[in-house]
């Protein structure tokens, strides 16, 4: 199964522009047909999805390129490869905690505003909040 650039764009949600940009950057380099048309293999598609996953969790394109180079090179530099993964794992774990904490914070804040809405509908909104300024941004 091989895909043309437009097909892969639809499958992955990455625009054609960006796919060509990734190719220029050496991040995702497809084969070519006789007619010089980009031909993305099934593996290319999986790699594209992998890029999306990693990029979506904050990995830089450079790191992804490095990772790809290591995978493609002969010899046992899989150690650096694992290091990249572990480093990213740490990053993801930290972010995960940050997001969880932040979610709680937002929920509390929304609740605060909802309580105002359902409760004393005076013009006192900002003074009410002023009274608890110290915990306002906890």
Partner DNA sequence: CTACACCTTAGAGTCGACTCCAAGTCAAGG
Partner DNA sequence: CCTTGACTTGGAGTCGACTCTAAGGTGTAG
In the complex, which residues of this chain contact a copy of itself (CB under 8 A)?
42-43, 46-47, 49-50, 53-54, 56-57, 71, 74, 76, 78, 81-82, 85-86, 88-89, 92-93, 95-96, 98-103, 105-107, 109-110, 113-114, 116-117, 123, 125-126, 129, 133-134, 136-138
3-state secondary structure of 26: coil
Residue with token string 């043309």: 4
Site string for DNA, 18-47 (x = CB under 7 A): x-xx----------xxxxxxx---------
3-state secondary structure of 74: coil
Is residue 69 classed exposed, middle or buried when 0-12, 13-18 and 19+ CB atoms within 10 A define those classes?
Answer: middle
CA dist., res. 97 & res. 2, Å (int): 40
Q: Which CB sits closer to a copy of itself, 35 or 138?
A: 138
The entry of DNA, a copy of itself, none that residue 6 binds, CB within 5 to 8 Å by partner kind: DNA
Q: Which CB sits closer to DNA, 24 or 121?
A: 24
β-bridge pairing 38-41 and 2-3 = antiparallel
């Amino acid at each position: 199964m091989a895909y043309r650039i437009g097909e892969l764009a639809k499958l992955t949600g990455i625009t054609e522009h960006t796919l060509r940009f990734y190719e220029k950057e050496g991040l995702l380099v497809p084969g070519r047909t006789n007619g010089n048309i980009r031909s993305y293999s099934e593996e290319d598609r999986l790699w594209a999805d992998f890029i999306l996953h990693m990029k979506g969790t904050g990995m830089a394109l450079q790191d992804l390129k490095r990772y790809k180079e290591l995978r493609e090179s002969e010899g046992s530099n899989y150690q650096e490869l694992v290091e990249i993964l572990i480093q990213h794992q740490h990053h993801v774990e930290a972010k995960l905690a940050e997001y969880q904490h932040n979610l709680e914070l937002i929920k509390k804040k929304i609740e605060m505003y909802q309580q105002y809405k359902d409760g004393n509908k005076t013009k006192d909104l900002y003074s009410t909040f002023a009274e608890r300024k110290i915990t306002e941004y906890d």
